[in-house]
Amino acid sequence: MRKVEGNEIRNIINTNICIILMILIVLILTIVYKYIMYKKEVQASLQTSVNVKELYNTTNREEAIIRKDENKKEKDIDSNTSDWELLLVNKNHKIPEGYSVELEEVEDGHQVDKRIAESLKQMLADARKEGLSPLICSSYRTNAKQQKLYNNKVKEYKRWGCSSEEAEELASYWVAIPGTGEHETGLAVDIVSRDYQILDEKQEQTDVQRWLIDNSYKYGFALRYPTDQKEITMINYEPWHYRYVGVDNATYMKEHDMCLEEYIEYLKQFEEGEYNEILI
């Protein structure tokens, strides 16, 4: 009787060991699968950044700009690159030393340069009149805040196995290096749909985004990083980032399908002695 009990116990133990082993195997396979998928995702993300970098290094960038203004003989808009609305801030153009901004709250604690607050409020109000639900998800950022966001992105790339140098470079295609981001000027806002707040490619398909893409120029805002111009803007994909440039400039840019870099380059050719300056 004792022997039988002993066998039963052994059987139970064996069965339990089998179950535990199976669970372990499933667990290990899941972890391996997740790891492979994660690596693939990382690879895709890194590749996207590398693609943008390569695009930037090819002649496409210059060709794109030349294509825009090759037929232009006369300046057909009354704007100058020194206008405050046209402040160019990007990887190669840091925010000017000592730049200061007077802020005004628009809604939900979001602040922008007070000179653009009314236009932004009007744009949001008109979108809401159309039954849409736009939501500001990012506005003025201090340098410290930008630094924090950038550091987090660098950390993420490092976790994915990049060296510090690599991580810093790749992060910069997604989050502006502090001092080179428009949010620090108070002239830019990120707007999403209240119903869909994830910052991914589907954002562009929301009714809010479609309305903004079609109408933001009427309020002086330009979609700052058009996907098809990333070789010039050097920013991956941000269909939710709107930059105030003034109504006339935004209208011109929209009509001529220009991003800010191209538009500034276009204006520069009419400004004495500076035509050949490489801006971007």
Cβ-proximal residue to Zn ion, closest one: 241
Cβ contacts of 56 within 8 Å, gap of 6 or more: 231, 232, 234
Q: How far is the CB of 170 from Zn ion (least distance, A)?
A: 18
Q: Is 231 exposed, middle or buried (0-12, 13-18, 19+ CB in 10 A)?
A: buried
- Answer positive or negative: Cα dihedral of 86, 91, 97, 98: positive
* Calculated CA dihedral for residues 55, 82, 179, 136, nearest 10 degrees: -90
Tell me which of 85, 182, 231, 238 is the catalytic residue. 238
Bridge partners for 110 per DSSP: 107
Binding-residue pattern over the window 133 to 172 for Zn ion, x denoting contact by CB under 5 A? ----------------------------------------
Query: Residue 184 interacts with Zn ion (CB under 5 A)?
Result: no
168 is catalytic: no
Q: Based on CB atoms, which residue is closest to Zn ion, 190 or 231?
A: 190
Q: Based on CB atoms, which residue is closest to Zn ion, 212 or 267?
A: 212
User: Identity (one letter) of the amino acid at 80?
Assistant: N
Binding-residue pattern over the window 113 to 132 for Zn ion, x denoting contact by CB under 5 A? --------------------
Applying CB under 5 A, among 150, 241, 242, 264 the residue interacting with Zn ion is: 241
Are 196 and 202 contacting, i.e. CB atoms less than 8 angstroms apart? yes
Q: How far is the CB of 236 from Zn ion (least distance, A)?
A: 12
Which stretch, 34-42, 107-115, 125-133, 182-190, contacts Zn ion (CB under 5 A)? Answer: 182-190
Question: Angle of helix 164-171 relative to helix 2-57, nearest 10 degrees?
Answer: 60
**Tokens encoding 231:** 């070789």
Q: Based on CB atoms, which residue is closest to Zn ion, 182 or 265?
A: 182
3-class DSSP state of 188: strand
Q: Based on CB atoms, which residue is closest to Zn ion, 48 or 60?
A: 48
Among 208, 193, 192, 204, smallest CA distance to 228 is for 204
- Contacts of Zn ion in 38-77 (CB under 5 A): none
Which stretch, 20-28, 36-44, 81-89, 237-245, contacts Zn ion (CB under 5 A)? Answer: 237-245
Are 259 and 232 contacting, i.e. CB atoms less than 8 angstroms apart? yes
Applying CB under 5 A, among 190, 231, 261, 262 the residue interacting with Zn ion is: 190
Q: Based on CB atoms, which residue is closest to Zn ion, 162 or 250?
A: 250
Which residues contact Zn ion by CB under 5 A?
190, 241
Q: Which residues are catalytically annotated?
A: 238
